[in-house]
Structure 1
Amino acid sequence: MPREIIVLAALAVAAPAPAQNHVVPAPVYQLRIYELYPQTKAAFHDRFRDHAMRIMKRHGFKIVSMWETGTADKPQFAYLLRWPSEDRMKAAWAAFMADEEWARIKRETPAAHRPIVGEIQDRTMRLTDYSPPM
């Protein structure tokens, strides 16, 4: 085999592979806003803080932040979730809603604290191509 062919073959093997454009999908955000009742607001926060957050974490939820909003007579609780994809979001919510521990906790919420939440607003949000990085 001529020397030039051997050198070219060695260079081809040693050359780095062409850069591959791996597009990482942008995360999906989910905004949830719960209507609360003044008389059960504390019970809601206790249940969310002490139980829901722990169970959500077990199912892969990434809570970005949480807020109280609304007014004194119409309190609301809002939180933002970050997901790698809409498919992952849907699968995690299905697992959370089917979680036996969560179902038991909801059943065991004292009758005096029911209903604990009213209307729930749920918005799936996708970043625009001109959004600042998060």
Structure 2
Amino acid sequence: MIHQLRIYEIFDRNKAAFHARFRDHAARIMARHGFRIVALWETASTGRTEFAYILAWPDAETKAKAWASFRADAEWAEIKRTTAIEHGDMVGAIEDRTMTPTDYSPVLD
């Protein structure tokens, strides 16, 4: 099992729209492509608002295939297109980290 940490810079001007899009659309479509969301947070760091979440994957190959499938999803592409027209850019910088447990790490589900 590996975990993936994603951190998105989000903007106060359209933060509510970002959260609605992730909650109502991205999470649902991700589930359809095999994503397992462990937890989600809003955080602040160095003067910016961030959205952070952790995904659980059985292995790196599954993670890569699921992301490719999600990015190619026509429904997701259309949602991103229409929300960008309505609300502008909703995500700035993105950080992506794959976290592999140490041999002494407690077991996480």
Q: What's the TM-score bracket when you normalise by the shorter of the two chains?
A: over 0.9
Gapped regions of structure 2 (runs ≥ 5): none
Alpha-carbon spacing, 1:36–1:125, altered in 2? closer, same or farther (3 Å): same
Q: Is 2:84–2:90's contact at 8 Å kept on the other side of the alignment?
A: no
Q: Which string of whole-angstrom CA distances, capped at 9 and with x for unpartnered residues, describes residues 61-98 of structure 1? A: 00000001016x62100000000000000000000000
Name the Cα RMSD after superposition: 1.1
Structure with the higher fraction of residues in strand conformation: 2
User: Hey, what's the Cα distance between the residues in 2 that align with 1:110 and 1:117?
Assistant: 10
Once the two structures are superposed, residues 8-63 of structure 1 have per-residue CA deviations (whole angstroms, 9 ceiling, x without a partner) of xxxxxxxxxxxxxxxxxxx0100000000110111100000000000000000000
1:33 correspondence with 2:7: yes
Q: Using the alignment, how far apart are the partners of 1:97 and 1:128 within structure 2?
A: 30
Larger radius of gyration: 1
Structure 2 CA distance for aligned equivalents of residues 99 and 89 of structure 1: 15
**Alignment-derived partner of residue 75 in structure 1:** 49
Deviation at 1:110, TM superposition (A): 4.7
TM-score, normalised via structure 2 length? 0.94
Partner of 1:101 in structure 2?
75
Runs of 4+ in 1 over 4 A off after TM superposition: none
Match of residue 127 from structure 1: 101
Name which of structure 1's ranges 77-86 and 105-114 shifts more when overlaid on structure 2.
105-114
1:51 matched to 2:44: no
Report the Cα offset of residue 133 of structure 1: 1.5
Residue 61 of structure 1: aligned partner: 35
C-alpha spacing 1:59/1:123, structure 2 compared with 1 (3 Å) = same
| Residues matched between the structures, number | 107
For residue 112 of structure 1, report the CA deviation from its aligned partner.
4.4
1:68 and 1:49 map into 2 onto residues whose CA distance is 13
Alignment partner of 1:133: what SS? coil
Separation in structure 2 between the aligned mates of residue 59 and residue 50 of structure 1, nearest angstrom: 15
